[in-house]
Amino acid sequence: MDATAANLLLAHHRAAARDLPWRMTPRDPYRTWLSEVMLQQTTVATVTPRFLRFVERWPTVEALAAAPEAEVLCEWAGLGYYARARNLIACARAVAERGGFPRTEGALRKLPGLGAYTAAAVAAIAFGEDAVAVDTNVERVVARVFGIKDRRDAGEAARGWFPAGRHGDFAEALMDLGASICRPKAPNCPVCPIAAHCKAQALGRPEAFPAPKLKKERPHRHGIAWLVRRGDEVWLVRRPGKGLLGGMAALPGPEWGEERPAINAIAIHHHGFTHFTLDLMVVPRAEPPPGEGWWHAVSELAAAGLPTLYRRAVEAALEAEREPRLAA
């Protein structure tokens, strides 16, 4: 494909780029990196207010590196995919130790938690390197423009399409196009600036590109969460540093398993993780189990840093406790 479509898209982007708080001029590599980590599997609408809170509290990578891990994990609560938060802390500390972010894709890949996409995005957007950042939006736009079914081939086609010296701008132009016009469903082809150059649109079925991913059936697990009350306080613990929800605040309870426990719960919260689903059964308990933990006021649970799984489980349990009194 010639450069015409790329130039049209760049011109459209100059006129219609999304106004996002991490798109400063000149670009701040800290904000670029932080936004890219937050945006993994999370929408711009969800990330934007949380990003602003992060940079207000920790305005530099050095400030984030010096922050207590528990405070960062608490601030991350609700964003999901909590391994990102642990990698965020490790990366910030590595960057602060070396005196700043490296400027190349290859060097960025050596930082904790930076995969191929994030390293390419930071290198291209923050440092102007000709690195090709291909996220889901970019992959979809490229697949449609070139009429490619296989997502892996779309990534390869992108490498030959990005204009030299403009990789950062072009990546953001593709991301914005994929988010606002070239959507997964009901793409708005009539307003697309490169519709005349799009093979999928010419075929009259842009939604067929790329081919949909095959969804695997997720296994189901069961778990118990103990609700220990002391007046208007609830007993919380911190999960082990490694593994799912590592280092996050939580209700105490045994490990989850495939067998449903024979136990009466006051509330059951159904939750979907990437690789499995879970029924978390909330069960009252008179005393805290052995181990470290702390009493936290129910009225201040929003500040406890509970991940969504436990926050909703507690809310369901407290609502179940109130129901008899409401009925009376």
Catalytic positions: 36
Q: How far is CA 239 from the centre of its chain?
A: 20
Single out the residue of 151, 139, 146, 137 nearest to residue 194, CA to CA: 146
**C-alpha to C-alpha distance for 320 and 281, rounded to whole angstroms:** 12
- Based on its alpha-carbon atoms, the radius of gyration of the chain, rounded to whole angstroms, reads 23
Amino acid at 179: A
Buried b (16+ CB within 10 A) or exposed e, 24-61: eeebbbbbbbbbbbbbbebeeeebbeebeebbeebeeb
Q: How far is CA 263 from the centre of its chain?
A: 34
CB 280 within 8 A of CB 215: no
CB 240 within 8 A of CB 254: no
Residues 6+ apart with CB under 8 A from 312: 269, 271
**C-alpha to C-alpha distance for 311 and 84, rounded to whole angstroms:** 19
**C-alpha to C-alpha distance for 287 and 246, rounded to whole angstroms:** 24
